[in-house]
Amino acid sequence: MSMTQPQGWLLDIGAIPISTDNVKFRVWAPYAESVAVKLIDQDRVVGPMQRDGQGYFEIIVSGIVPRARYQYVLDGVNERPDPASRFQSDGVHGPSVVVDPTSFQWTDTDWQGMSLDKFIVYELHVGTFTEDGTFDAIIPHLSYLRDTVGITAIELMPVAEFPGRRNWGYDGVHPFAPQSSYGGPDGMKRLVDACHAAGLAVILDVVYNHLGPEGNYLGEFGPYFTDRYRTPWGSAINYDGPDSDEVRRYVVDNALYWVTEYHIDGLRLDAIHGIFDFSAQHVLKDIAYAVHAQARLLGRQVNVIAESDLNDTRVIDPPSVGGYGLDGQWNDDFHHALRVVLTGEQKGYYADFHGLTDLATAVRDGFVYDARYSAYRRRRHGNSSQHCRPSQFVVFSQNHDQIGNRAVGDRLSTQLPWDALKAIRALVLLSPNIPLLFMGEEYGETAPFQYFIEHGDPDLIEAVRQGRQREFAHFGWNPEDIPDPQDSGTFERSRLRRDNLTDRQAELLRWTKALIRLRRTESSLGAGDGTARSHRVWAFENEQVLMVHRWTQDHEASLVVCGFNTSPVTIRLFEPHGTWLRRLDSMDKAFGGSGQGSMPTHLVVSPQGISLSIPAYGTAVFLAS
């Protein structure tokens, strides 16, 4: 085994190669009186391991070859996989595998990461992105993502080992082990290395609010969980109760592990509103501090991004003002307001959003709910985000949740006119925030993205089925329409069908590429990275037209007009003053339009005003003359 170590932090739990054939095994197991190591391939048990005062057990074993399989034997009875297993080649219940973290030959020495304001994110699910459903199978598509689409970062849905081969990833139970059916540690490292060679950053979705129910043995080792709080997905993780210091260390180590051993450029922390911690120093602050410190040691930029429905800027405020210091967070308010404008949907949490004015607020300020009363929650919700940088918010018209957590997992491409998709795309991709596309969205994929699992326990399978039906009840969806998550057909239906695009899909893809190219070349259309507002938003509520004016300190300026109108309208403009030249128009033939253009090739806006006629869903981008 190679013993060249990465710089800075090192993982000190699990199976740790320390010389050519010596491995140190170290596990936190305060619930156990004794722990031994069972070497599966040698059919022998070594131990007992030596226990320290904090509940850690440790032993050094010689004669270990790479890929040796092992289990821990708790109190001479229960044989369990390692809580810090780097690889589960035989699934969640099987033995763990010794992995030398230094054996992979990286080629990304010059890669320094990417600042958050440069992110144009493409969220994907490894299992359904390609027919093979592996890390390696993604690599041939990287040039398409970079050159044909134009994105700068891929975001992988969770890859921690989960039961079976079909899962969104949020049922992972081995946080340090990349999914074996995806290709395991080497496959994931090859993907990250290839992304960096292509100039693409990699964000990893990690789950620190719960672990899945099947194959979850952590509770036999120590107090990883608590019943003092409840989550919708399972037992809450013990971040602030007795013996929680080592649980927090386990989670912080996991974040550092992905950054260090897998060269990950960003972590997306799933549903942090399910992370309960009343400690004086919140675990999220610990994660952000540790990741940023390690990134500095490694000479790379690494971003930590939260998914949160709290609308609390404390998550992204700097520690100097009492914040947790994360770099960014998803803004669900943007999505919800946009969907209500497009569909008029008013069930569930959509009941809180009321038209174009709310969408304008989301574009201008970030949070719509900034201590405003929420009828859905029946209380005031959120705080003001006006002081935050626009580049601290990730916005989207679709993501895995907002598609997959609908009854049939239907995409906007099956619900809206094609011209409406172009208006949506312009608003998201030319936002002052960080734009995110969900896989296939760039060309209007029509295959659904549905919720799928492959559990082995019949009672658990039925519980998931019933849980999905209860979850959707408040949206008024028919339970009979909800696909069976356990059915392999649900998974197969969710695969992308990118071969042989239709004409209109090819046109939408060209529109997507043109918008991204404009975002990357025109400084006034990139992410706003200053605290001073450099954009204004007008909502023409009666006409259903949104207009965004953006500018830079170098006096470059742009005007994005997005029509959500279902029939032709005319608006009257009195500002922003100046001459504006049309740069992109959704009605151009190349993008599936009539070729006549939805708006004039130039606008002269003065205090006297000018009338602007806009066809249904007409969208155009103007640059200052």
Find out whether 199 and 145 touch, Cβ atoms under 8 Å: no
* pLDDT over 70 percentage in the chain: 98
Would residue 215 be called left, alpha or beta, if left means φ above 0 and alpha means ψ between -120 and 50 degrees?
Answer: left
N-to-C CA span, the chain: 62
Find out whether 445 and 128 touch, Cβ atoms under 8 Å: no
Cis? peptide before 48, omega within 30° of 0: yes
Closest CA to 625 of 575, 567, 559: 559
Cβ partners under 8 Å of residue 535, min gap 6: 363, 364, 390, 432, 528, 548, 549, 550, 551
- 10 Å CB burial of residue 318 (0-12, 13-18, 19+) is exposed
Closest CA to 16 of 78, 71, 61: 61
529-624: CATH topology is Immunoglobulin-like (2.60.40)
d(CA 509, CA 600): 24
CA dist list (Å): 357 to 99, 209, 619: 54, 34, 18
pLDDT, residue 248, reads 98
Is a pLDDT exceeding 90 seen at residue 470? Answer: no
The residue ranges of every structural domain in the chain are 14-97, 116-207+245-508, 529-624
Is a pLDDT exceeding 80 seen at residue 475? Answer: no
Closest CA to 16 of 8, 7, 31, 5: 5
Helix (H, G, I), strand (E, B) or coil at 355: coil
d(CA 502, CA 38): 56
- Specify the pTM: 0.96
Place of tokens 């999914």: 179
| 334 marked as part of a ligand binding site | yes
pLDDT, residue 473, reads 74
pLDDT, residue 531, reads 53
Identify the bridge partners of residue 160 per DSSP, sorted by sequence position: 178
Q: How confident is the model at residue 233 (pLDDT cuts 50, 70, 90)?
A: confident
The reply to whether 14-97 and 116-207+245-508 are identical in fold is: no
| 50 marked as part of a ligand binding site | no
Q: Which two tokens stand for residue 284?
A: 């999220």
Q: How confident is the model at residue 227 (pLDDT cuts 50, 70, 90)?
A: very high
Is a pLDDT exceeding 80 seen at residue 276? Answer: yes
| 254 marked as part of a ligand binding site | no
CA dist list (Å): 500 to 10, 59, 496, 497, 528: 47, 57, 12, 8, 37
d(CA 418, CA 425): 11
What's phi and psi for 59, nearest 5 deg? -155, 145
Q: pLDDT by residue (tens digit) across 77-90? A: 999 999 999 999 99
Angle between helical axes of 418-429 and 332-343 (0-180°, round to 10)? 160
| 401 marked as part of a ligand binding site | yes
pLDDT, residue 472, reads 80
Q: Which two tokens stand for residue 571?
A: 């608006």
Q: pLDDT by residue (tens digit) across 523-539? A: 999 987 665 568 999 99
Closest CA to 127 of 85, 156, 151, 155: 156
| 335 marked as part of a ligand binding site | yes
| 381 marked as part of a ligand binding site | no
Across 193-207, b (16+ Cβ under 10 Å) vs e yields bbbbeeebbbbbbbb
CA dist list (Å): 520 to 122, 252, 509, 550, 621: 15, 34, 17, 14, 14
Angle between helical axes of 332-343 and 356-365 (0-180°, round to 10)? 160
Q: Which 8-state DSSP code applies to residue 301?
A: B
| 402 marked as part of a ligand binding site | yes
Find out whether 264 and 258 touch, Cβ atoms under 8 Å: yes
pLDDT, residue 533, reads 61
Q: pLDDT by residue (tens digit) across 528-576? A: 766 556 899 999 999 999 999 999 988 899 999 999 999 999 999 999 9
Q: Which 8-state DSSP code applies to residue 6?
A: P
pLDDT, residue 8, reads 80
| 624 marked as part of a ligand binding site | no
Is a pLDDT exceeding 80 seen at residue 218? Answer: yes
Find out whether 19 and 13 touch, Cβ atoms under 8 Å: no
DSSP string over 111-138: --B--GGG--EEEE-HHHHSSS-SHHHH
Question: Domain spanning 116-207+245-508 has what CATH number?
Answer: 3.20.20.80
| 317 marked as part of a ligand binding site | no
d(CA 374, CA 380): 6
d(CA 142, CA 152): 10
Neighbours of 469 (CB within 10 A): 15
Q: How confident is the model at residue 2 (pLDDT cuts 50, 70, 90)?
A: very low
For the four alpha carbons of 535, 328, 190 and 162, in that order, the dihedral sign comes to: negative
Identify the bridge partners of residue 113 per DSSP, sorted by sequence position: 301
pLDDT, residue 596, reads 74
Q: How confident is the model at residue 4 (pLDDT cuts 50, 70, 90)?
A: very low
Find out whether 204 and 118 touch, Cβ atoms under 8 Å: no
Q: How confident is the model at residue 204 (pLDDT cuts 50, 70, 90)?
A: very high
Q: Across residues 331-351, what is the average pLDDT?
A: 95
- Catalytic annotation, residues: 270, 307
Q: pLDDT by residue (tens digit) across 445-462? A: 999 999 999 999 999 999
Q: pLDDT by residue (tens digit) across 111-152? A: 999 999 999 999 999 999 999 999 999 999 999 999 999 999
* pLDDT over 90 percentage in the chain: 90
Is a pLDDT exceeding 60 seen at residue 1? Answer: no
Find out whether 16 and 23 touch, Cβ atoms under 8 Å: yes
d(CA 385, CA 102): 43
Q: What is the mean pLDDT of the chain?
A: 95
Q: What angle do CA 126, 236, 54 make, to 5 degrees?
A: 105
CATH architecture of residue range(s) 14-97: Sandwich (2.60)
Q: What angle do CA 451, 453, 457 make, to 5 degrees?
A: 140
d(CA 510, CA 508): 5
d(CA 83, CA 172): 12
pLDDT, residue 587, reads 95
